[in-house]
Amino acid sequence: MSVRFRPGDIVEVKAAEEILQTLDADGALDQLPFMPEMIPHCGKRFQISRRVLNTCVSGPDAGMRMFTKDDVVLLDGLRCSGADHDDCQKGCVIFWREAWLRKVENSAQLNVVDSKSSDRLRARLKTLVRPNVYFCQASELLNVSKPLSRAERIANCFGEVRAGNCSPFEMARRIGIWLLWKMRRVILGTYARGNKKPTPTESLNLRPGERVEVKSLDSIIETLNQTAHNRGLLFFPNMRLLCGLEQSVERRLDKIIVDGTGEMRQLHNTVYLEGSHCGCSYIAFGGCTRCEFAYWREIWLRRPAGQS
């Protein structure tokens, strides 16, 4: 595996004019779009958080996949705002081709951002395919990646360590978690499965910043079907760790772009809780680099006693 950038490296996002030269007519490089939400980061410096060896895909073709080229990295803390895609609230991590970045020394001078070049870059970028179907990194995931074979999944576990994404101990921990939950599914069946058909709904009209209490696991199971879903949304095994605890609502979730299709899907009575992410180590061998937010149905939550 050829590694040019490693976690911890400080890089600068190239100037808009430089990036423009790498893009095709749709504003993509090797089918991975450079999105308008990425333009404000041009000329700025960030730390590489990890190389992307594999990623999850949700939606109709859910599963683990790997990029067809080993040149994709994540920059620390950068997620898509959705501002140029009808305010999509999915908050995906942004994938960066190495061709869009340069390694810099801490003492190097920052580039001056040219607004005219930014405008030319924005004019090249495609965001909409047709009404209610969008063009973004999430919509193109199936085109820029391929399914992982069993051998590739095992190889990627070693690759994660070699790339500096995690330590051998951390990888061993991920695999151990996956094995334990795999055995549990085989012996006991789907975790937190219920028997509701159809599954119920409840609206709390929660707002960002509100404190909520996650209901007990028994109460949540009463809202799930036999595959641990409520109206198509899975209750991940790691979400049980928040049962009975108070959390802050980070934001409401009303609409998201579906992976692989680009369709904008409307959601109801669903929120993000601060710091709550999907439990990829529980369901994906070796974990995943995407670090998606966990989605919470409001029926799984309650306002704390004494709070109206």
Rounded Cα gap, residues 191 and 178, in angstroms: 13
**Residues of the chain above pLDDT 70, percent:** 95
Q: Specify if 121 maps to a domain.
A: yes
Residue 134 pLDDT class (50, 70, 90 cuts): very high
Which residue in this structure is represented by tokens 């101990």? 169
Q: Are 124 and 22 in contact (CB under 8 A)?
A: no
Q: Which two tokens stand for residue 38?
A: 């990425």
More confident: 287 or 43: 43
Q: Specify if 279 maps to a domain.
A: no
Distance of CA 82 to the CA centre of its chain: 13
Q: Which two tokens stand for residue 186?
A: 């085989």
Q: Specify if 51 maps to a domain.
A: yes
Residue 121 pLDDT class (50, 70, 90 cuts): very high
Report the predicted TM-score, pTM, of the whole model to 2 decimal places: 0.90
> Residue 221: is it exposed, middle or buried by C-beta count within 10 angstroms (0-12/13-18/19+)?
middle
Q: Specify if 260 maps to a domain.
A: no
> Residue 149: is it exposed, middle or buried by C-beta count within 10 angstroms (0-12/13-18/19+)?
exposed
Q: Specify if 127 maps to a domain.
A: yes
Alpha helices, H only, 74-149? 115-124, 141-144
Count the helix, strand and coil residues of the chain and give each as a percent rounded to the nearest 5: 25, 25, 50
Torsion angle of alpha carbons 243, 64, 194, 307, nearest 10°?
A: 30
Q: Which two tokens stand for residue 228?
A: 């641990």
Q: Specify if 289 maps to a domain.
A: no
Rounded Cα gap, residues 29 and 21, in angstroms: 10
Query: Tell me, what's the pLDDT at 3?
Result: 46
Rounded Cα gap, residues 234 and 211, in angstroms: 22
Q: Are 29 and 99 in contact (CB under 8 A)?
A: yes
Q: Using alpha carbons, select from 190, 208, 204, 188 the residue that is nearest to residue 302.
A: 204
Asked whether residue 77 carries a pLDDT value surpassing 70, the answer given is: yes
What would the pLDDT profile of 155-165 be if each residue is shown by its tens digit? Answer: 999 999 999 99
Q: Using alpha carbons, select from 221, 223, 238, 219 the residue that is nearest to residue 278.
A: 238
Residue 57 pLDDT class (50, 70, 90 cuts): confident
What would the pLDDT profile of 185-210 be if each residue is shown by its tens digit? Answer: 999 999 999 999 999 999 999 999 99
C-alpha Rg value of the chain to the nearest Å:
21
Residue 117 structural domain: 10-149
Distance of CA 276 to the CA centre of its chain: 12
What would the pLDDT profile of 4-36 be if each residue is shown by its tens digit? Answer: 899 999 999 999 999 999 999 999 999 999 999
Q: Specify if 41 maps to a domain.
A: yes
Residue 220 phi, psi dihedral angles, 5° rounding: -70, -40
Question: Picking from 15-19, 111-115, 181-185, which range would have the lowest pLDDT averaged per residue?
Answer: 111-115
Q: In what order do the strands lie in the sheet with 72-75?
A: 96-97, 72-75, 45-51, 10-13, 101-103
Q: Specify if 45 maps to a domain.
A: yes
Query: What CA–CA distances, in Å, run from 113 to 36, 109, 286?
Result: 15, 12, 40
Could you give the number of structural domains in the chain?
Answer: 1
Rounded Cα gap, residues 48 and 152, in angstroms: 24
